[in-house]
Amino acid sequence: MAAIDFKKIPRFKQLPIRKGAPPESSWGVFGDKDEFGCLNFLTPKGIVDAAKLVKKGKVFRLDTPINYAKPPLFNRNPARHTILSFEQYGLLGHDDSIDNYNTQEGSQWDGLGHVGHVRHRAYYNGVTDDQIKDGPGGRLSIHKWADRFVGRGLLIDVCKYLGAKRRAVDPLSAAVYKLEDLQGALKAQRTKVKPGSILLVRTGWLGAYLKASDQQKQEMAPLEALKSCGIEPTSAMVEWLWDNRFAAIGTDCPAVEPWPWDFRDEGALHYRALSMLGLPLGEQFVLDQLAADCAKDKRYEFLLVSVPMNLEGGIASPPNAVAIK
Ligand code: UVW
């Protein structure tokens, strides 16, 4: 992690800076071999400033329990947890074994090796498919983030904002939160955007999902059946995210953008953010308790600490994240 001169970072309209790189890509901005993308916006000074936001010693866990979704969304497999007894050694005690664990079965950061651009056939910074591989040499691996994901967290409670305006959306539909909704919520919250923030957006999806019956959860989980709200997957949205130097965006919905999205659609946020800008996407985050506290003390900023798994060559990770106020 290094200091960064934010003024020297090109504006979105100036991208790309690398000859031959795709339009609207940040490839080369942080160097030709860079694997961190927008996480470069997190700096030592940003951490020191974010630590000053801790005022009352309250901690909010942002991960769902493992296997919270029954069944997991998008046809992903559930993990099998077995408690192994020490009985065979004549001892009293246990180990865990977690088999079949999919790092995206619940709360998760999508790593930059998760999705390559559908037409350019490349990942962030031009990384090729064969460079995404198991082990320490795997490019864009999630383990490289393990000591990078600390900084100022900023919550936008767009769900509450639209609810108060009597324009609430159904989170379990493919409803779209527009950029102007996010900006309106920020204004209503009186929250300032600062470079190097980790943005969290509460859409209301997870709360609505948890209220559904077991039967409804069964019906809505498959890839083909799932419907979810999300933020608009437009050039204007990523321009705003980039020009405000957001380091990552995490939401409480399954895909950040509305689901379903068409994998052939180059305009999808997954391509715009992960492949083009190197902007990590966070999904199925637990934000309701944090949001309630922010509404109560009117402080929507906090120290955010996330320690992705030290899985060499890993594609994604549960965030292992806490917000501290
Ligand atoms: C989808 O958009 C399918 O979500 P994920 O990032 O979990 O693959």
Please tell me the distance from the alpha carbon of residue 16 to that of residue 13, in angstroms, as a whole number.
8
Q: Is 94 helix (H, G, I), strand (E, B) or coil?
A: strand
Residue 110 Cα, ligand 1 centroid: separation in angstroms? 8
pLDDT at 2: 82
User: In this prediction, what percent of the chain has a pLDDT beyond 90?
Assistant: 98
Q: What's the whole-number average pLDDT of the chain?
A: 97
Q: Answer yes or no: is pLDDT of 3 > 90.
A: no
pLDDT in tens, 81-117: 999 999 999 999 999 999 999 999 999 999 999 999 9
Q: Is the CB of 257 under 6 A from ligand 1?
A: no
Q: Is 147 helix (H, G, I), strand (E, B) or coil?
A: coil
Q: Is the CB of 109 under 6 A from ligand 1?
A: no
Query: How confident is residue 7, by pLDDT bands cut at 50, 70 and 90?
Result: very high
Q: Residue 164 phi/psi, 5° resolution?
A: -65, -25
Q: Which two tokens stand for residue 6?
A: 């934010």
Residue 174 Cα, ligand 1 centroid: separation in angstroms? 14
Q: Is the CB of 271 under 6 A from ligand 1?
A: no
Q: Answer yes or no: is pLDDT of 1 > 80.
A: no
Could you give the domains of the chain? Answer: 6-324 (3.50.30.50)
The closest residue, in CA terms, to atom 8 on ligand 1 is 255
- Best residue for ligand 1 mutational test, from 114, 283, 315, 317 (most atoms within 8 Å of Cβ): 283
Q: Is the CB of 74 under 6 A from ligand 1?
A: yes
Average pLDDT over residues 64-80: 96
Q: Is 241 helix (H, G, I), strand (E, B) or coil?
A: helix
Residue 51 Cα, ligand 1 centroid: separation in angstroms? 31
Residue 95 Cα, ligand 1 centroid: separation in angstroms? 32
Helices and strands in the chain, H and E counts? 8, 13
pLDDT in tens, 251-281: 999 999 999 999 999 999 999 999 999 999 9
**269 burial level (CB within 10 Å; 0-12, 13-18, 19+):** buried
* Strand segments (E) across the chain: 59-61, 80-85, 94-99, 108-110, 150-156, 176-177, 197-201, 230-231, 248-251, 281-283, 301-306, 316-317, 321-324
**118 burial level (CB within 10 Å; 0-12, 13-18, 19+):** middle
Please tell me the distance from the alpha carbon of residue 244 to that of residue 254, in angstroms, as a whole number.
24
